[in-house]
Copies of this chain bind each other. A is one copy, B any other.
Amino acid sequence: MPIINVKMTHEDGGATKEQKEQLAQKLTQAFVEVFKRGEKTCVVTVDEISTDNYAIGGETITNIRKKS
């Protein structure tokens, strides 16, 4: 029973319900393909966080986006 957590920034209105359904499906498949188990029990959770709350190299994604 693997637990897969995805932490991603909330961009352009956020991930849609359909995208999250697809993501859960595809991540689960990926795990099953490699380990031949977890098909029914694999858990996927998604955390969407503000671009103000995510930084790389000491700079928030909000600010990185402004420059690019």
Q: Which A residues lie at the B interface, using CB under 8 A?
A: 1-9, 15, 17, 19-31, 33-35, 39-49, 52-63
Contacts and interface: CB of A to CB of B under 8 A. Distances in A.
A58 B30 contact: no
Contacts of A6: 2-4, 31
A6 B34 CA distance: 13
A30 to B, nearest CB: 4
B60 A54 contact: no
Contacts of A31: 6, 23, 27
Given A2-B6, A4-B4, A24 B59 contact: yes
A25 to B, nearest CB: 4
